[in-house]
Amino acid sequence: MESDGQGVARLPVYRAALPFLRDLWVLAKARVVSLLVFTAAVGELLAPATFTHWPAALAGLVGIALAGGAGGVLNQIVEPALDQHMRRTHGRPLANGRIGRSGAIVYALVLMSLAIAILSIWTNPLTLVLTLLGTVGYGVVYTLYLKPSTPWNIVWGGLAGALPPLIGWTAVTGQLAALPLVLVALIFVWTPAHFWPLAIYCRRDYA
């Protein structure tokens, strides 16, 4: 504890900031993003001459993390009313009112701007385009159009989450290839099989 000079104890600033930082972490869906970064790293490790091009490889991972975080924020900006009615999501910062919509929009813009800058400077146009496609595919197409309109939303929306191995590969090589496309196909097929059991388990919430 620290004193304010009048005998009133107060917490250190860093301790008071921890809940806010935790909310930013949740808002960016950091646990989900960590899986995107992991699969992107696999794509990079399988690419030829990865360690020779390590600055581009590192920039690719940072860019994917930031863009994925921006997509997670966009998802929650669109769905706070829905999140409030689900046990799994009612405690999210936007749904709970701990962070406002305008603040979340600024946060998403900052994350996306940093991602674009890093990928533009240290990788290549193909990697930037694929990353933008993945972010828009998840944050806009999947969230705004597929989820409300079709039960097949996770099948087509899962393509955005399947792109990171290819993005990791292109960050190093600047080219498409068969091997990372196979990895994309594997994740694309795995995503519904993973998510549908979760949907069944939470079927009352989703209903």
The pLDDT of residue 1 is above 60: no
pLDDT on residue 197: 85
Higher confidence at residue 149 or residue 13? 149
The H or E element spanning position 10 is: strand 9-10
pTM: 0.88
Residue 112 neighbours by CB distance under 10 Å: 22
Mean pLDDT, rounded, for 137-142: 89
Mean pLDDT, rounded, for 17-31: 92
User: 10 — phi, psi (to 5°)?
Assistant: -140, 155
pLDDT on residue 150: 84
User: pLDDT tens-digit profile of 83-104?
Assistant: 787 777 788 898 888 999 999 9
pLDDT on residue 14: 61
pLDDT band per the 50, 70, 90 thresholds, residue 8: very low
Instruction: Tell me the CATH number for domain 11-206.
Output: 1.10.357.140
125-136 vs 153-162: helix axis angle to the nearest 10?
150
Query: What is d(CA 93, CA 141) in angstroms, rounded to the nearest whole number?
Result: 23
DSSP string, 88-151: TTTTSHHHHTSS-HHHHHHHHHHHHHHHHHHHHHHS-HHHHHHHHHHHHIIIIIIIIIIHHH-T
Residue 160 neighbours by CB distance under 10 Å: 23
User: pLDDT tens-digit profile of 147-174?
Assistant: 888 888 888 888 999 999 999 999 999 9
For residue 84, give the 3-state DSSP assignment: coil
User: pLDDT tens-digit profile of 35-79?
Assistant: 999 999 999 999 999 999 999 999 999 999 999 999 999 999 988
Distance of CA 70 to the CA centre of its chain: 6
What single-letter DSSP state applies at residue 7?
S
Find the radius of gyration of the CA atoms of the chain: 19
